A and B are shown apart, each in its own frame.
Chain A
Amino acid sequence: MITVKDLRLTFGKGTPLENPALRGLSLTVNQGEFVTVIGSNGAGKSTLLNALSGEVLVDSGRIEVDGVDVTRLSTHKRAGRVSRVFQDPLAGTCENLTIEENMSLAIKRGMRRGLGSAVKTRYRDRFREGLATLNLGLENRLGDKMGLLSGGQRQAVSLLMASLNPSSILLLDEHTAALDPRTAEFVLDLTKRIIHDQKKTALMVTHSMKQALEVGERTVMLHQGQVVFDIAGQEREGLTVSDLLKLFEKQRGIEVSDDSLLLG
């Protein structure tokens, strides 16, 4: 469960480039809920996810994960509760480390690391089992360097890594945007399966409004650092992209063009 109250964050305070990225954003995501997040470029989607993971610290407001106040905690202290997959397929893994080393890093996410061997024999079976579900033949390549994998393969492994360990919330920031359409679909299916099987509380940012309506059970739109609307259940059933655009215009009283809101 995620509770976010009145988050405010301004980049470059006191400079000519002062930029309020979050302007009193509030949002509650229930346990096991899968929420898609949309919004125009610069709406604050990535900033919201960075604030949740601790990569940026907010100026004011409060962030709770499962009722625990994490507002002031640094990224590594939140890692046990928060797992994430980045947009850039290269960002979520280390290319110079092997597949099994990357997965061994993830299996210890948020736990103490000691002087025991990092890649343990008993982990390897789990890694192979997980990799086999991807159907990419990676289960036989545990010792290969991550850098040898394609972007899609790396993103699939990143997802698997995010799910090796129980974490309260999963954050996905346009994690299929850098992939070709077929690979993107494969990674999206994998995402849905993992979130469903592990009943994860998930926030998925997507650049496609169509995808946002089709995937998950609730859709939130951000605009200028605030939630402009939040739909779920019956209200969301059967909604089309153009309905969504109309809704947005009605709520804000602004004209929205197709290029400010990327359509999909």
Chain B
Amino acid sequence: MLSEIALYGAFETGLIYGLVAFGIYLSFRVLDFPDLTVDGSFPLGAAVSAVMIINGWNPWLATGAAILAGMAAGAVTATLNVRLKILNLLASILTMIALYSVNLRIMGRPNIALLSEDTVLTPWYDLELAFHQVPVVLFFIVAVVVLILLWRFMESETGLAMRATGANPRMARAQGIATGWMIILGVALSNGLVALAGSLFAQSQGAADVTMGVGVIVVGLASLIGGEAVLAPRSVIRALLACIIGAILYRLAIALALNADFIGLKTQDLNLITAVLVTLAIVLPNARHSVKALFSRS
């Protein structure tokens, strides 16, 4: 079984990846915009907040700046698509690649240690909580606040317009919705959330690293798809809850797999396994349909 520390660790990372899953839900599901920018905006959030924190800025301000930077990155991707008509997937790859250079420029070096700095977590260690519980409690609060804000937004007039933009752009335009702006706003919000996750991740892990974004998209997708399998996303609130639940379940599953020595898994195998799982999750429902079709066509 898992040790208590490993269990809390899974919840901590799961809650952070829940924010990533929110972002991916916005782009992939709401807007139908496959966006890979997140592999760059996750470390971007980490880089911006790390640099600000080591320069003595308030860690919450640094976190806010990370969100804004992520939103700017998302806006660039969406603008490449909407205004310059570059295919959405390609536009996001271009931004992602560019962000690798940008992140190195921001940090000035490949990684920044934050272990001796004040982070958003620092004041919470004064509370009567076990050391490994602190990040879980704080990130839980952050995740709940973001969930409520996002839920209210999706049910607002603008949020509904965004959902229509992804679902039926022609109808959305006919209803007077500026679909281009909706895509820019939505992809910006999505990457703002991912940058928030990157910022919190760096602060809880005690370091920002340019390579920390590799595979974020796949893990986020795995969380999203896993959550949707557990909790059918019939409404916005269910879809958002599914993001969080999926991300935590995913982390627990990974922790269990790594814990079981007999499987012989190592941390570096995770991206491969996740990619395989996501592929299966995407292909299997279709496979089931085609198998069914095969048998029903007698």
Partner of A76, one of B155, B158, B159, B178: B178
Residue A206 lies at the interface, judged by CB distance under 8 Å to chain B: no
Given A91-B170, A97-B164, CB of A108 within 8 Å of CB of B156: no
Least CB distance from A181 to B in Å reads 26
* Chain A residues, CB < 8 A from B178: 76
Are B168 and A79 in contact (CB-based, < 8 A)? Answer: no
Closest Cβ of chain A to B46, distance in Å, is 29
Stretch from A16-24, A39-47, A109-117, A197-205 contacting the other chain: A109-117
New contact pairs (15) apart from A82-B174, A114-B157, CB-CB < 8 Å: A54-B173, A76-B178, A79-B177, A84-B174, A92-B171, A93-B171, A94-B168, A95-B168, A104-B160, A108-B176, A109-B176, A113-B161, A113-B177, A117-B155, A118-B159
- Whether the pair A118, B173 counts as a contact (CB closer than 8 A) is no
Q: With contacts A91-B168, A114-B156 known, is A108 near B175, CB below 8 A?
A: yes
Q: Which residues in window 39-69 of A have CB below 8 A to B?
A: 53-55
Contact A110 B176, CB 8 Å, known A117-B156, A118-B156, A119-B155: yes
Would A75 and B157 count as touching, CB distance under 8 A? no
Q: Nearest chain B CB to A116's CB is how many angstroms away?
A: 6
Known: A76-B176, A76-B178, A106-B175. A94 touches B167 (CB 8 A): yes
Q: Which of A80, A94, A108, A111 has the most CB of B within 10 A?
A: A94
Indicate if the CB atoms of A111 and B176 lie closer than 8 Å.
yes
Q: Is A96 an interface residue (CB 8 A)?
A: yes
Contact of A97 among B158, B167, B170 (CB under 8 A): B167
Cβ of B153 < 8 Å from any Cβ of A? yes
Chain A binding surface, main DSSP class: loop
Q: B171 touches which one: A82, A94, A104 (CB < 8 A)? A: A94
Contact with A along B156-193 (1 / 0, CB 8 A): 11111101100110111111111100000000000000
Instruction: Quote the shortest CB–CB distance from B164 to chain A (angstroms).
Output: 5
Q: Across the A-B interface, give the 10 residue pairs with the lowest CB-CB distance, nearest first.
A: A79-B176, A113-B157, A118-B160, A75-B173, A110-B176, A94-B167, A115-B156, A118-B157, A94-B168, A109-B176
- State how many angstroms separate the Cβ of A149 from the closest Cβ of chain B: 15
Determine the chain A residues whose CB is within 8 A of the CB of B179 once the complex forms.
76
Residue numbers in A under 8 Å from B177 (CB-CB): 76, 79, 105, 113
Is there contact, CB below 8 Å, between A105 and B156? no
A107-150 to B contact mask, C-beta < 8 Å, 1/0: 01111011111110000000000000000000000000000000
Complex A-B: 18 CB contacts under 8 Å: A55-B173, A75-B174, A76-B176, A79-B176, A82-B174, A83-B174, A91-B171, A94-B168, A95-B167, A105-B160, A108-B175, A109-B174, A109-B175, A115-B152, A115-B153, A115-B156, A117-B157, A118-B156
* Of B164, B168, B174, most A-chain CB atoms within 10 Å: B174
A78 to B171, CA, bound (A): 13
Residues of B within 8 A of A174 (CB): none
Residues from chain A with Cβ under 8 Å of B164 in the complex = 94, 97, 105
Q: Does A101 contact B (CB under 8 A)?
A: yes
A235: shortest Cβ distance to chain B, in Å?
A: 34
Q: Hey, which chain A residues are within 8 Å of B163, CB to CB? A: 94, 96-97, 101
CB-CB nearest in chain B for A93? B171
| Residue among A54, A74, A114, A118 with the highest chain B CB neighbour number at 10 A | A118
Most buried by B among A54, A105, A119: A105
Chain B residues within an 8 Å CB radius of A111? 176
